Amino acid sequence: MSADPFTNRKPETGAFFQRDRSWHPPAFSPNYKTSILRSPQKALLSLDSTLSEITGPVFGHNILGELDDDLIHNFAKQGESAIGPRIIVYGRVLDERGKGVPGVLLEVWQANAGGRYRHKKEGYVAALDPNFGGCGRTITDGEGNYAFRTVKPGPYPWPNGVNDWRPAHIHFSVFGHGFAQRLITQMYFEGDPLIWRCPIVRTIPDKAAVEMLIAALDMQATIPMDACAYKFDIVLRGRRSSLFENRLEGN
Ligand SMILES: [Fe+2]
C-alpha cells in the first residue's frame, strides 16, 4: 500500500495497531533537563488493571458549569473579560480509525496572553491578568466534537538552558471512561517560530508527530470582529496517535 502523503507512513491494516516506538520521544531526554530525574531509573513492573481503574466514571454534559468552556469569562469579573487575542479552539477527539469519540472530558490550562501562569511558584515577570484564570473544560459531543473560547497564550521563558522559551501552547488532559485513561498533551499554534527551538518539542523524534500537535488557523471558523479559530484534532490510538507526554517510552 502507498504511504499517507501527510505523514509519509504506511496505512494501518488489520485490527491490531502495533505501537510505533519511534513516534513518541524517549522518557530520558537530557536536553529537557527535568526528564533526567523524571525518567525511570529501574526496570518497569507490569500491573494488571483492575475493574475500578477501567470502568466509570462516565462524564455527561450536565457536570459542566455554564462558563467552563469560556476562559475569556470564567474567571472574569461581571461585565469584564480576559485581555489578549480572542480565539476559538475546536476539533475532534478521534479513535484509531478516525471515528469521533463521544463523552470525553477535555480539561485545558494555559498561561495568559503575556505568558504568565496563575501559580504561586510562577517566576516569570510578566503581569497577571485579574480577569484570566487559565483553565477550563469541555466534553465531546456525540460525534467527538469539542470547542472552547480563550485568549491566545503568550510564550514564556523557563529555567532549562541559558535562554529557553516555550512556544505559545495550551495543555490538554483527555479523560476517557476510567481513571486509567487520562492522557496529557500540548497544543501549539501554526506559524510560531519558537516551536522548533523548544527543547521539549525537540525530544519528539518525528517531525510529523510534532506537526500533529500544531493547531491550524482556520479562517472559515472565525467569528468576524470577535475571535480567530484554531483547529486541533486529538487522535487517541494507532500509529497516528497524538503525542501524550505521560505515555512516553519507558513510563
Ligand atoms: Fe505550559
If you count them, how many residues does the chain have?
A: 251
Q: Which grid cell is 235?
A: 487522535
The pairing of beta strand 164-166 with beta strand 86-94: unpaired
pLDDT at residue 1 above 50? no
pLDDT at residue 25 above 60? yes
Cα 23 to ligand 1 centre (Å): 22
Cα 34 to ligand 1 centre (Å): 14
CATH topology assigned to domain 84-111+135-247:
Protocatechuate 3,4-Dioxygenase, subunit A (2.60.130)
The pairing of beta strand 86-94 with beta strand 228-231: parallel
Is the distance from CB of 170 to CB of 186 less than 8 angstroms?
yes
Cα 251 to ligand 1 centre (Å): 20
Q: 68 φ, ψ to 5°? A: -60, -30
Helix (H, G, I), strand (E, B) or coil at 41: coil
Tell me, what's the pLDDT at 91?
Answer: 98
Cα 110 to ligand 1 centre (Å): 6
Q: 125 or 1, which is more confident?
A: 125
| Residue range 134-163: mean pLDDT, rounded | 96
pLDDT at residue 250 above 50? no
Q: What is the pLDDT of residues 197-242, one digit of tens each?
A: 999 999 998 999 999 999 999 999 999 999 999 999 999 876 567 7
DSSP code string of 214-243: EEEE-GGG-BTTTBEEEE--EE-SSTTPPP
| Residue range 131-145: mean pLDDT, rounded | 96
Q: Give the predicted TM-score (pTM) of the model.
A: 0.86
Tell me, what's the pLDDT at 93?
Answer: 95
The neighbour count for residue 14, using CB atoms within 10 Å, is 6
Q: What is the pLDDT of residues 152-196, one digit of tens each?
A: 999 999 999 999 999 999 999 998 766 667 889 999 999 999 999
Tell me, what's the pLDDT at 88?
Answer: 98
Tell me, what's the pLDDT at 251?
Answer: 42
Q: 178 or 103, which is more confident?
A: 103
Q: 2 or 153, which is more confident?
A: 153
Tell me, what's the pLDDT at 180?
Answer: 67
| Residue range 63-92: mean pLDDT, rounded | 96
Hey, which residues are catalytic here? 117, 156, 166, 169, 171
Q: Which residues pair with 172 in a beta bridge?
A: 108, 185
Q: What band does 31 get if pLDDT is binned at 50, 70 and 90?
A: very high
